[in-house]
Chain A
């Protein structure tokens, strides 16, 4: 869900301005509306310095020795330190010697704290100047005007804060045209998928935040593409072990996501009866279960059916979002599309409803043609509507694109099968056969697990961001909510 924003315009007497800014920073919820995005010379310099220091920090961080004996630097200035680090870095590219490593370790312990400190200072200064630069003057500089956004939940608190400081302000609901910043707020389940969504783009303020809606599909598609209960178990166990060991470098929420995907993959593998490339029905005593598992042809149909479901779902979302945010008639073309798609599915596949007439198709067509662009004039609107009808070809492409789920699942299952049969062949080698058997199994399945999960992940991403986002009317390109606050926090 996108957190709604409130727009604040404040009038500040110029004498109070300097004292007011630290207070504003302390409260830390105000996102300034940027009228002037270009950095001036000072700001550019600060930014360059921040990048340079950051590079040095990253470089030194890798060489920091385990025993963190703090030592004091001898009062070098930051440019001096940077120069020293740069020299060592250049030498290191030519030759690697123990001596250089020693120097680096010494540098790391000595300089890192002061570099960190300087970086925070610079970042603070950069932020402060950004706010000053975007403040407008009025009444010959006697009054300063600050405009920006505050999330609606914090509106009351911020308003009280301004009152207590005696600052005149106006608050409004943020409009789409003001380009408000985007802050996402999701429940624990869909929050796991936020990093995936941000790989593509943040939604625009007028869009719907689709994270919660693509999350269940994403998990399901991943399982579909892996198609092996054994691999699901390995993902689950691997992520759990990493979590228990408490690896600091990987975020906990990523591991939870892997655990979740592992569970889904496990259940999907059970649905098709694959475990480490062996069909469950081949186990002794379980041959009766063959009928329970999905056959290849059924998986093929299932993939396409899921495609229809997700695309229709996306259209429902788009229609509802437009109806709520703009007005009822703006969502009608989506209603038309949904009617046409349902009619076609019924006509070609289910054949349940009798074909008395095709009236629903006509209504659907009319909705698309007449309401494609409600703001345009009659003829221009109809022209746009007829153009929109060409979307039917794209729609067919979108649905067929879901075949990839079937092909990915089948190919990962077949490769697992291949690894097993190679291992069985190699077991016949005398004496060391069993050892080789284990090595082939271990190595082969690790490789296949890597390739299959990469493929399943990437293709699921594509289905989400191309097919689903397109049909859900996602425009994207929102800028993230960055409140004016103290950087070191």
Chain B
């Protein structure tokens, strides 16, 4: 029973950790957008894309959740090995929490700059993807772990 609990905790972490990060990240961007709309309303398309950027971390977590959940290993007789694998895969995603929040901050800066007439949309996008790499690596690692189950 303890093994099953550990495995399910891992599963929950895959949603919780990146989810919290993405939720905070997108709202940082959205808050900046609302302020920027006063200065330059016609940039809404740009602001929205930048705000949406940090939403992907939560989706990576969810994709990982789906991979593990569809393995059919969540039975009372789950092996300790499998349970710890699921837990580790979930714990990795603490990376995504930070990456998403930081990404949201970069995007917010970009939005504020675009609103003051500084044409940095493309450059903000490139810079904002820097932290996202580590979420992607977390997902890739979770995927590789799942392949061994």
Contacts and interface: CB of A to CB of B under 8 A. Distances in A.
B136 A404 contact: yes
Interface string A346-373: 0000000000000000000000000000
Interface string B99-143: 000000000000000000000011101101110110011011001
Interface in A368-416: 401, 403-404, 406-408, 410-411, 414-415
Interface in A440-478: 451, 454-455, 458-459, 461-462, 465-466
Interface residues of B, number: 28
A461 B133 contact: no
B95 interface: no
A407 B121 contact: no
Given A417-B66, A454-B49, A455-B56, A58 B42 contact: yes
A401 B130 CA distance: 10
B147 A296 contact: yes
A200 interface: yes
A418 interface: yes
A410 B63 contact: yes
A41 interface: no
B91 interface: no
A465 B66 contact: no
A464 B94 CA distance: 28
Contacts of B143: 296, 407, 410
B60 A407 contact: yes
B126 A200 contact: yes
A197 to B, nearest CB: 9
A72 interface: no
A458 B110 CA distance: 15
A199 interface: yes
Contacts of B81: none
Contact size class for A?
20 to 34
B126 A466 contact: yes
Q: Chain A binding site: helix, strand, loop or mixed by DSSP?
A: helix
Contacts of B121: 199
B87 interface: no
B66 A199 contact: no
B53 A458 contact: yes
Contacts of A411: 59-60, 63, 139
A406 B143 CA distance: 11
A458 B63 contact: no
A16 to B, nearest CB: 40
Contacts of A414: 63, 66-67
Interface string B15-59: 000000000000000000000000000100000010011011001
B98 interface: no
Contacts of B125: 199, 458, 461-462
Contacts, number: 70
A311 B71 CA distance: 37
B62 interface: yes
A401 to B, nearest CB: 6
A300 B143 CA distance: 11
Contacts of B49: 454
A459 B123 contact: no
Given A58-B42, A199-B121, A414-B67, A451 B59 contact: yes
Given A407-B140, A410-B143, A415 B63 contact: yes
Given A414-B67, A415-B62, A451 B56 contact: yes
Contacts of B67: 414
A199 B46 CA distance: 13
A407 B56 CA distance: 12
A299 to B, nearest CB: 11
Contacts of B139: 407, 410-411
A303 to B, nearest CB: 10
B59 A415 contact: yes
Contact of A418 (B55, B66, B136): B66
B140 to A, nearest CB: 5
A459 B129 CA distance: 7
Which among B52, B62, B126, B143 has the greatest number of chain A C-beta atoms within 10 A?
A: B126
A200 B66 contact: no
B122 A461 contact: yes
Nearest to B140: A407
Nearest to B130: A462
Contacts of A58: 42
A418 B62 contact: yes
Contact of B126 (A401, A403, A418, A461): A461
19 contacts: A198-B122, A199-B122, A296-B147, A403-B137, A407-B60, A407-B139, A408-B136, A410-B63, A410-B143, A411-B63, A417-B66, A451-B52, A451-B56, A451-B59, A454-B53, A455-B56, A458-B128, A461-B126, A461-B129
Interface of B: 42, 49, 52-53, 55-56, 59-60, 62-63, 66-67, 121-123, 125-126, 128-130, 132-133, 136-137, 139-140, 143, 147
Interface of A: 58, 198-200, 296-297, 300, 401, 403-404, 406-408, 410-411, 414-415, 417-418, 451, 454-455, 458-459, 461-462, 465-466
Given A296-B147, A410-B143, A417-B66, 15 more contacts: A200-B122, A200-B123, A401-B133, A404-B133, A406-B140, A411-B63, A411-B139, A414-B63, A414-B67, A418-B66, A451-B55, A454-B49, A454-B52, A462-B126, A466-B126
